[in-house]
Amino acid sequence: MISTSGTTGIPKGAQHTPTTLSASAQATSLHLGGPGNWLLALAPHHIAGLQVLLRALAAGFTPAVLDVRDGFDPDAFADALDALDGPRRYTSLVPTQLIKVLDSPRATAALAGADALLVGGAATPVPLLHKAIDASVPIIRTYGMSETAGGCVYDGIPLDGVVIDIEDANPDGVGRVRLGGPMVAYGYRNLPDHPAFADPGWFRTDDLGRVDKHGVLSIIGRADEAISSGGLTIVPQVVEAVIIDDPAVAECAVVGLPDDRLGEKVVAFVVPSGTRRVDAERIKAGVIERLDRYAAPREVIEIDQLPTRGPGKVDRRALRNRFGPA
C-alpha cells in the first residue's frame, strides 16, 4: 500500500505488487541509460523515495541514504553524492531541494557530476529548470504519482510500456490525462469501485494536459484546482508560470479565495527571491499582458515559505485555510 499525498482530501492507499514496482524500476533504468546506484534524499514512505531505494536494490546496489529529518543540507547532500559508488550515479529531488542545491556552488558541482537527477513531486518552474541546465545539472523532469508507482513520463516522454490518453479533449487538445502501463496500481485499498481505476491497467488522473504531435505530454494544471472567478475558469498553474518569471519571485502559488462579488478571487502567494523588491502591480501587469485581465491576481501576498504536503507539493488547502475567511 502506497499512500497518496491527499491532494483532494483524505489520502488513499494505492495497491501495488512486486510486478508493478519492478516494472517502474526497470523502465526507469532503461530510460536513463543503464543500472546504477541511487542516493535517497526524499522521505522513503512516499513513492518517490521508495522507488529510489527499489531502483538501487533492483540494480544490485546498496543505496545511500541522506538524513533529512532535520531538513535538507546541501553540503551533506554533496558529501553523500560524492561518496556514492556504482557505474552510474543517480538521485531524485523535489524543486525546493533543487533551489537549495543551486544556491550552493559545492552542491551544484557535485550534482553536475551525477548521471541523472530526477525532479518531481511538483512542477519545476521554468527559471529553475534553466538555472539547472546552465549549471550542467543532468536534470530530468518526471510526471507520475503513487498510483503509477512514481514517475512514468520523463520530460514529457512516456517510459517504455506507458500509454497516455487524453480524455474528452477540447479544441485545443486539453483534457483529463489517463495513464496506462505495467506499473499502474491495482486500485485503492477498500475502494474497489473507485472510478479512477474503472478500466483495468489504466489510471484516470485529476490532471489536465495535452499531447503534441511529437507525443510529448504537457500538464496544464489540475481539474480540481481550477478557480471559478466571475463565471470564468482560471487554471492556477498557468498563472504561476507567468508570475515565476518575475525576478523578484523565487516560488509562488495561486489559489482561489472566496469573494462576495466574483465567487472566487485569484490570489497569488509569493516567496521573494531576495534580489529585488516584490512589486504587486508589476506582477499583475505581467499576468494581464501574457494572459488576460480576468486571470490577474486580485492580491499578491508575500510569505516566507509555501506550505507543502507529500513529496514537496504545494498545499493549497493550507493556504486557503490560513488566509481565507474565518
pLDDT in tens, 126-158: 888 999 999 999 999 999 999 999 999 999 999
Distance of CA 186 to the CA centre of its chain: 23
State the pLDDT confidence band at 3, using cuts at 50, 70 and 90.
confident
Q: Are the C-beta atoms of 94 and 122 separated by less than 8 Å?
A: yes
pLDDT given at position 220: 85
The residue assigned the cell 541522506 is 66
What residues contact 201, with CB distance under 8 A and at least 6 apart?
A: 180, 181, 182, 184
Q: What is the CATH number of domain 226-323?
A: 3.30.300.30
Query: What percent of the chain is predicted at pLDDT more than 90?
Result: 71
Has residue 282 got a pLDDT over 90?
Answer: yes
> How confident is the model over 171-223, as pLDDT tens digits?
889 899 999 999 999 999 999 999 999 999 999 998 999 999 999 999 888 88
> How confident is the model over 290-319, as pLDDT tens digits?
998 989 999 999 999 999 876 677 888 899
- Mean pLDDT (whole number) for 275-287: 94
Distance (Å, whole) CA 240 – CA 301: 13
Question: Which CA distances in Å does 225 have to 52, 238, 254, 256, 304?
Answer: 29, 12, 10, 9, 23
Has residue 121 got a pLDDT over 80?
Answer: no
Q: Are the C-beta atoms of 119 and 77 separated by less than 8 Å?
A: no
Distance (Å, whole) CA 158 – CA 27: 10
pLDDT given at position 284: 95
State the pLDDT confidence band at 97, using cuts at 50, 70 and 90.
very high
CATH homologous superfamily for the domain 1-223: ANL, N-terminal domain (3.40.50.12780)
* Ordered alpha helix ranges (H), the chain: 18-32, 47-58, 74-83, 95-102, 105-112, 126-134, 236-243, 280-290, 316-323
- Mean pLDDT (whole number) for 2-12: 73
Q: Are the C-beta atoms of 153 and 217 separated by less than 8 Å?
A: yes
pLDDT given at position 122: 67
Helix (H, G, I), strand (E, B) or coil at 265: strand
Question: Can you give the pTM of this predicted structure?
Answer: 0.79
pLDDT given at position 26: 96
Has residue 101 got a pLDDT over 80?
Answer: yes
Q: Are the C-beta atoms of 178 and 234 separated by less than 8 Å?
A: no
Q: Where are the domains of the chain?
A: 1-223, 226-323
